[in-house]
Amino acid sequence: MTEGNFVDYVKMHVTSGNGGKGSAHLHREKYIQKGGPDGGDGGRGGHIILRGNSNLWTLIHLKFKRHFKAGHGAHGSSGRSTGADGEDIYIEVPLGTVVRDSETDTVLFEITEDGEEKIVVEGGMGGRGNWHFKSSTNQTPRYAQPGIPLEEKDITLELKVLADVGLVGFPNAGKSTLLSVLTSAKPKIADYEFTTLKPNLGIVEYRDFQSFIMADIPGIIEGAAEGKGLGYYFLRHIERNSILLFLIPADAKDIVEQYEILEDELKRYNPEMLDKERLVCISKSDMLDSELKSEIATILDKDLKADYMFISSVAQQGLTELKDKLWKLLND
């Protein structure tokens, strides 16, 4: 999936259908005098419904279609005939889509399961025909109810990627390289910062034909809370991850300090993210000899408040152990 095809934020205007009005018809037939009221009910207006689809990964199919309008309910007719219901409009969305009211910014609901359906705006109810109002004191009512008018609303769809493992790290820490080695994903990789501008997803194949999903988001830098770098725009994609995998390069000036900066930025974004399982990977460790690796491990054992391991994506070092560790954390 190319960066231009990853769409995770869409605004749209949705309109339901009017309810059909009831009929005020009086029965007329040869040889039947005073047939009485027989006006039918109006049909219900169409709903706008969001439906989860596990085959979708982004909101790109909604990028250029921003207006959705359901059908109107048909009016009632003679013979107590009820009008047809208006056509419901179904909007397919990927799992993890959060729906907000654009005016109030309140969360209406979210779609997390395949086939799950939620009504965004309800169609108007059809009016009742005049035969409902017949009584001993009013045997010929010549009135019926109008249909309930439509609803319209501006909504915002935000996608929060549902993945098992989320990669967290500074720019150029090796997140995209790790994703490309462990999965079939082909993220952009280059020797400069912020090569990743959109989240990338990949499926990690494990033993016995099992698998789990890994997500790579753009790098976080100190001060992201103030809008530096790409800010917090993409951090919502790791809110749903079961495990946070911190990547810190072996050539970092202070590995513990970098971890604490990343942890602080996540805490400032959403303190609940620190309740997730965490694992720290020291990437690019093929640059270290055994003596230097031992010295770093001594420091980390003392000061780092998290489990850690050394890996190298390029040299294929420690990757099998990493997958074993992640799988164990996911299933515990």
Q: Known binding site for Mg(2+): residues? A: 176, 196
Beta-bridge partners for 294:
none
Label residue 174 left, alpha or beta by phi (over 0 means left) and psi (-120 to 50 means alpha).
left
CA dist 136 to 22, 80, 123, 210, 249, Å? 21, 19, 34, 72, 87
Q: Report the alpha-carbon distance of residue 135 to residue 299 in Å, rounded.
A: 89
CA-CA distance, 280 to 265, in Å (whole number)? Answer: 16
- Numbered residues of the known binding site for GTP: 169-176, 194-198, 216-219, 283-286, 312-314
Rounded Cα gap, residues 200 and 217, in angstroms: 7
Indicate the annotated binding residues.
169-176, 194-198, 216-219, 283-286, 312-314
Task: DSSP for 267-329, please give it.
Answer: HHH-GGGGGSEEEEEEE-GGG--HHHHHHHHHHHHHH--S-EEE-BTTTTBSHHHHHHHHHHH
Ramachandran angles phi, psi of 221, nearest 5°: -125, 160
Is 203 buried (19+), middle (13-18) or exposed (0-12) by CB count in 10 A?
A: middle
Angle among Cα 187, 205, 276 to the nearest 5 degrees reads 80
∠ Cα 116 15 54 (to 5°): 25
Query: Who's near 313: CB < 8 A, 6+ residues apart?
Result: 174, 177, 178, 180, 181, 283, 284, 319
The two beta strands, 165-169 and 152-159, are unpaired
Q: Are 208 and 324 spatial neighbours (Cβ–Cβ below 8 Å)?
A: no
